[in-house]
Amino acid sequence: MKKSLLIVVIAILSTVKWGYSQVDKNLPFIWESATVYFVLTDRFENGDTTNDLAYSRPQDGPPLRNYEGGDLQGLINKIEEGYFDELGVNALWITPPIENIYGSVPGAGYGFHGYWAKDWTNIDANLGTNALFGTFVDIAHEHGIRVLLDVVLNHVGPDTSTDQNQSWPDEWVRRDPDCNFQGPEGTIPCELVNNLPDIRTDSNENVSVPGWLLDKWDQEGRKEIQETELNDFFTRTGKTRSPRNYIIKWLIDYIRKYGVDGFRVDTVKHVEEDVWKELETEGVIALREWKANNPDKKLDDLDFWMTGEVFNYNAPTMGRNFTGDGFNVDYYNNGFANLINFEFRFNANDGLESIFSRYDNLLQNQLVDGKSAMNFLTNHDTEEVFDRDRQKTFEAGTKLLLTPGPAQIYYGDETARTLTPGGGASGDATLRSNMNFDELNNSNSLASQTLRHFQKIGKFRREHVSVGAGKHNKLQDSPYVFKREYNKNGIQDEALVYTGNDNDFTGALDVFGIWDDGTELQDYFSGTFATVSNGTATFGTTFGLVLIGEPTSRTLGVDEVDTSNLDFVKAWPNPFTNSLKVSFQLADIKLNEVEVAMYDILGKKVLGNEQIDIQQNTIDIAVPNLTKGMYLMKIAFNGRTQVVQLIKK
């Protein structure tokens, strides 16, 4: 290797840090173990200050009920800087980004949350543009992050004086009575609350697009294309032009056009259950079409996925059927792969084994067939949350991220964002304060310490599907130790966790026969590595939590580069496309004793010996799944190590 090239390699290696890169999109993923980050886009990060007062919306609402400036560009910025990667997030749930009513409602302020729809076909200008939304989805996918779009099919936005003459007509919505929540009849054909017009989802009558909406599209230069797309949809499906079918069409456009991976459905029990099966069916068709048309952008071949908010669905207690408010409905048989679990925030007060065994039973025995319930501790609606005063943030992170099933991190859970902001904020506004990124400037702040805790467990969870989806087994009580094992659909994974007090686990730790001697393991909490010997592994960690799994990412350090002999390996072609060859200039090489590994520019291992093929005097390596960019190949044998810089074009 030439000296100048070596300097480049060492410069890169010396800046390596633990983190994720685009290749992480190749990590195994199943929804049952997803780590979902739920973000109110307007409250997260202001990436474009020029759109802060779109539609001339003033900030004259009650405290924390105005638009605050967060937008899609802010989300994009945080994705690209690796914030979600380092947290182990593999799905982003964003509040509805569609255009909301322009005016405010007395006492309730503006529709910054996105649930007051005006025009389903357009991204709200306070958040960005349709094109920017597409960019957001693409960039999320590049980081292995699925996108869940929050959707509303129960109601439109309130009538306001600002939006005068742009209200939905009576053939589209009902404005009375208000719901009394007494069984389906008191919950579905009624207004959720006063002045939240209820969409006539039960109707099969043909209706026309309101004249004000057609005029709006015409002024925006979009009328012809919108009408053409509607005609195409109704011709293809044969559906009536009923209110719900228009909205289903407008919602699935975000899948068909941009590749949205799934929906989080709002106010599920306020709509007839068979409507959700219609939505899911069209979603599956749309996502399959998008993936067929965008093979270079898709993450996998998984189908469209839906989770739903059935308010006060207590998953472990109710099982598959929601039995609250006079209902007895299996929504899992009506389009949903997942429902949000409102019980976990209370169960989190219990001990670890009580929680874990309860939720293992829910996932493995009560729901089954790929169905799951999403656990959360806080969200945007529920006043009763776990640790409202943020006094138990480490406990919260441990319990949420190690419990079987999908986990929902509500924005700021990982940074101890205040849920008691004061300043006159009241009701659900207190749950929707601005993200506290500024508190991360102090590395000793509660925000920073909590974030580091979440990151460690989040990384463990993302790299090992067994943590969220594997079968849970307690191994001993004191110290409390458990394992998780997953072996389905061609994915096999194991994880082992020790819990206790600081300095409990500095010595050799039993791996309970999960891994053979000679296996390299990582403790994801301390970041240290160990090799199994005599059935044990010694990490020397001083922490009271040890998260053990086989490393899927391995940092290549400068100390691993042998500069004494850098000319015994040839790798070609360089640049390469889908395959590589490695040969040696030394005669005493036994190729079956050579170790080969490739790392991305962040030092993350992306390929190892299990992916190479030895042919006579060369090693053939197939690398079709690697993204374009620079890589480092480490070749080692007989105490010699060489690092080669390679470019994939």
Averaged pLDDT for residues 249-260 = 98
How many angstroms separate the Cα of 257 from the Cα of each of 253, 297, 445? 6, 12, 42
> pLDDT-based confidence at 126, cuts 50/70/90?
very high
pLDDT tens string 471-514: 999 999 999 999 999 999 899 999 999 999 999 999 999 999 99
pLDDT tens string 421-458: 999 999 999 999 999 999 999 999 999 999 999 999 99
Please say if the pLDDT value at position 559 is more than 70. no
Report the catalytic residues. Answer: 266, 309
For residue 347, give every residue at least 6 positions away whose Cβ sits within 8 Å of its Cβ, in sequence order, or none: 316, 354, 355, 358, 359
Please say if the pLDDT value at position 7 is more than 60. no
Please say if the pLDDT value at position 167 is more than 50. yes
- What is d(CA 340, CA 190) in angstroms, rounded to the nearest whole number? 23
Please say if the pLDDT value at position 251 is more than 50. yes
Angle at the Cα of 501 from the Cα atoms of 495 and 506, rounded to 5 degrees: 70
Question: To the nearest whole percent, how much of the chain has pLDDT over 90?
Answer: 80
How many angstroms separate the Cα of 186 from the Cα of each of 152, 154, 179, 203, 504? 19, 14, 5, 17, 56
pLDDT at residue number 1: 25
pLDDT at residue number 595: 80
- What is d(CA 480, CA 307) in angstroms, rounded to the nearest whole number? 33
Averaged pLDDT for residues 130-153 = 97
Question: To the nearest whole percent, how much of the chain has pLDDT over 70?
Answer: 90
Q: 520 is written with which tokens?
A: 């390299």
For residue 215, give every residue at least 6 positions away whose Cβ sits within 8 Å of its Cβ, in sequence order, or none: none
pLDDT at residue number 639: 66
Averaged pLDDT for residues 263-291 = 98
pLDDT tens string 34-51: 999 999 999 999 999 999
> pLDDT-based confidence at 580, cuts 50/70/90?
confident
pLDDT at residue number 616: 56
Please say if the pLDDT value at position 350 is more than 90. yes
Return left, alpha or beta for 296; rule: phi > 0 is left, psi -120 to 50 is alpha, else beta.
alpha
Averaged pLDDT for residues 522-534 = 95
More confident site: 119 or 646: 119
pLDDT at residue number 554: 57
Q: 15 is written with which tokens?
A: 């800046």
Q: 240 is written with which tokens?
A: 């009536």
> pLDDT-based confidence at 106, cuts 50/70/90?
very high
Averaged pLDDT for residues 247-263 = 98
Closest CA to 594 of 648, 642, 550, 531: 642
DSSP state of 557: P
Amino acid letter, residue 245:
N
Closest CA to 473 of 404, 539, 398: 404
What rounded mean pLDDT belongs to the chain? 91
Averaged pLDDT for residues 20-28 = 61
pLDDT at residue number 596: 81
Closest CA to 635 of 552, 555, 562: 562
pLDDT at residue number 11: 34
Averaged pLDDT for residues 549-564 = 59
pLDDT tens string 368-387: 999 999 999 999 999 999 99
pLDDT at residue number 562: 45
Please say if the pLDDT value at position 94 is more than 70. yes
Cis omega (within 30 of 0) for bond into 316: no
Please say if the pLDDT value at position 19 is more than 70. no
E strand or H helix that includes residue 648: strand 640-648
DSSP state of 628: S
> pLDDT-based confidence at 565, cuts 50/70/90?
very low
> pLDDT-based confidence at 621, cuts 50/70/90?
confident
